[in-house]
Amino acid sequence: MTDLFSPITLDGLDIPNRIAIAPMCQYSADDGSASDWHLQQWMSYALSGAGMITVEMTDVERRGRISHGCMGLYSEANEAAAKRALDAAKRVAAPGAKFGVQLAHAGRKASCQRPWEGGGPLKSDEDPWQTVSASAIPFDTGWHTPRALTQAEIEALVEHFATAAERAARAGFDFIELHSAHGYLLHQFISPLSNHRDDAYGGSLENRLRFPLAVAKAVKAAAPGVMLGARISVTDWVDGGLMVEEGIEVAKAYKAAGLAYICCSSGGNSPLQKIPTGPGYQVHLAEAVRKGADMPVRAVGMIDEPNQANHIVTAGRADMVALARAILADPRWPWRAAAVLGHELRVAPQLARAAHLPKKWELAA
Ligand SMILES: Cc1cc2nc3c(=O)[nH]c(=O)nc-3n(C[C@H](O)[C@H](O)[C@H](O)COP(=O)(O)O)c2cc1C
């Protein structure tokens, strides 16, 4: 039976198990370049035992960053810094672990403070910048009002995504994840809440998908040897916003554009969202996309117990599970999962003499 530790192949990329590390912004980059913080973080991810490691939201142009500390792949320096950290992480990684980068643009949610500095829009003395989006609609009261992108700017942005994808491939990433969720630019085009355009990029879902699909196709062409997937918000959790049925259509369109998996998240595009959170609160979205679009999906959101994660896979609700906060708290979580589920995990040989300890601790607990 397929379980959490079964391998999976996505568009030719062999992934040794179904535990993924979800992308997590660290707000610790220097003009988009990975720092020593990223070096230690990626090396820690590399040793975790997770099969699929997704590096944080990484922006395709400088104004696409959420904050002054966000990662980018918009310059040669960014590419060199990412390669330095990735080369080191790959040298120590557990057997077979694969690394991806989440390419993104924050759109109207750019020009913000780091979370620990408040997380709100940058103030006038904090070097803010003009944000852009599908339409000139701010995320919330008091947020920056974005400028609606012109057609020429949209076409230029497609090129920026493609250039960043080339950089990701040269840096050595095994896969790319398009960030099409959480109210960032691709989602801003897809959601009727943030896209009020009356040209070819607005109105019907087909039109609202025009820019994201152009990005998907350009990225695929720019990095042909790199597996490509996307994270989407399957629903906005707001009346009048994106609903699950449309979310499934988004997944189908990405599948037709050659994407190999969808990570099923939700929300992030409106302060009016009402999200019924709780353990595994987005798994039903992954299940719906898996059935509706007939493609591999990754479930995410408050999945932090080994049996819970395993059951999602064995029950066929999702093909993979992604963990975010649980990995920050316990970077060896996959070792614990292996101990609980009775699986022998191949870890880096230098660590092998300690691999039995989580099992002892589980039995003692
Ligand atoms: C510190 C932190 C940074 C995050 N950054 C990103 C990001 O860069 N891209 C993204 O799609 N989601 C991001 N998220 C959301 C997570 O990937 C994940 O979807 C969410 O935390 C729910 O999973 P969890 O319950 O396992 O934490 C972030 C979450 C945290 C806690």
182 pLDDT higher than 90: yes
Residue nearest atom 18 in ligand 1 by C-alpha distance: 324
Residue with tokens 């759109």: 107
The per-residue pLDDT for 140 is: 98
Instruction: Select the more confidently predicted residue: 309 or 358.
Output: 309
Task: Quote the pLDDT of residue 267.
Answer: 98
Q: How far is the CA of 199 from the centre of ligand 1 (A)?
A: 33
CA gap 359, 365 in Å, rounded: 10
> What tokens appear for 325 in the block?
């906060």
Q: How far apart are CA 29 and CA 75, in angstroms?
A: 13
Contact assessment for residue 258 and residue 175, using Cβ atoms and an 8 Å cutoff: no
Whole-angstrom distance, CA of residue 333 vs CA of residue 325: 11
- C-alpha span between 276 and 342 (Å, rounded): 33
Average pLDDT over residues 267-281: 97
Residue 209, burial from CB neighbour count under 10 angstroms (0-12, 13-18, 19+):
buried
> Which residue's C-alpha comes closest to atom 31 of ligand 1?
325
The three-state (H, E, C) secondary structure of the chain, written as one string: CCCCCCCEEECCEEECCCEEECCCCCCCCECCECCHHHHHHHHHHHHCCCCEEEEEEEECCHHHCCCCCCEECCCHHHHHHHHHHHHHHHHHCCCCCEEEEEEECCHHHCCECCHHHCCCECCHHHCCCCCEECCCCCCCCCCCCCEECCHHHHHHHHHHHHHHHHHHHHHCCCEEEEEECCCCHHHHHHCCCCCCCCCCCCCCHHHHCHHHHHHHHHHHHHCCCCEEEEEEECCCCCCCCCCHHHHHHHHHHHHHCCCCCEEEECCCCCCCCCCCCCCCCCHHHHHHHHHHHCCCEEEECCCCCHHHHHHHHHCCCCCEEEECHHHHHCCCHHHHHHHHHCCCCCCCHHHHHHCCHHHHHHHHC
- Ligand 1: centre distance to CA 22 (Å): 6
Best CATH choice for the domain 8-364 from the list 3.20.20.70, 3.90.1300.10, 3.30.43.10, 3.30.70.20: 3.20.20.70
Buried b (16+ CB within 10 A) or exposed e, 307-339: eebbbbbeeebbbbbbbbebbeeebbbbbbbbb
pLDDT for res 348: 85
Q: What is the pLDDT of residue 359?
A: 84
The pLDDT of residue 118: 97
Whether the predicted pLDDT of 36 surpasses 90: yes
Question: What is the distance in A from the centroid of ligand 1 to the CA of 37?
Answer: 17
Find the 353 Cα to ligand 1 centroid distance in Å: 32
| Residue for token pair 């019907």 | 204
Give residue 363's pLDDT: 83
- Confidence band (pLDDT; 50, 70, 90) for 365? confident
How much is the average pLDDT of 173-184? 98
Ligand 1 pocket: which of 19, 24, 25 to mutate (most atoms within 8 A of CB): 24
Region of residue 92 (phi > 0: left; psi between -120 and 50: alpha; otherwise: beta): alpha
Q: Confidence class of residue 27 from pLDDT cuts 50, 70 and 90? A: very high
- Predicted local confidence at residue 93, as pLDDT: 95
The type of residue at 310 is N
Q: How far is CA 133 from the centre of its chain?
A: 20
Please name the amino acid found at residue 174: D
For residues 207 and 145, is the Cβ–Cβ distance under 8 A?
no
The answer on pLDDT for 158 being more than 90 is: yes
Nearest CA to ligand 1 atom 13: 24
Q: Which ligand 1 atom minimizes the distance to the CA of 325?
A: 27
First to last CA, the chain: 28
Phi first, then psi, for residue 56 (nearest 5°) are -50, 160
Atom 15 of ligand 1: nearest residue by CA position: 24
Token code pair at residue 211: 């820019």
The full length of the chain comes to 365
Q: Which is the closest atom of ligand 1 to the Cα of 300?
A: 23
277, two tokens? 């959170």
Instruction: Return d(Cα 321, Cα 308) in angstroms, integer.
Output: 10
Confidence of residue 360 (pLDDT cuts 50, 70, 90): confident
Contacts of 309 (CB under 8 A, 6+ apart): 4, 19, 303, 321, 323, 337
Where along the chain do its domains lie?
8-364
Question: What positions carry a catalytic annotation?
Answer: 184
The confidence score (pLDDT) of residue 115 equals 98
As a whole-number percent, the residues of the chain with pLDDT over 70 amount to: 100
| Mean pLDDT across the chain | 97
pLDDT value for 130: 98
- CA 301 vs. chain centroid, Å, equals 12
Residues framing ligand 1 (Cβ under 6 A): 22-25, 56-57, 102, 179, 181-182, 231, 265, 300-303, 323-326
> Using CA positions, which residue lies closest to atom 6 of ligand 1?
24
Question: Region 12-24: what's the mean pLDDT?
Answer: 98
Please give the share of the chain, as a percent, with pLDDT higher than 90.
94
pLDDT band at 356 (very low <50, low <70, confident <90, very high): confident
> What is the position in ligand 1's atom list of the atom closest to the CA of 302?
25
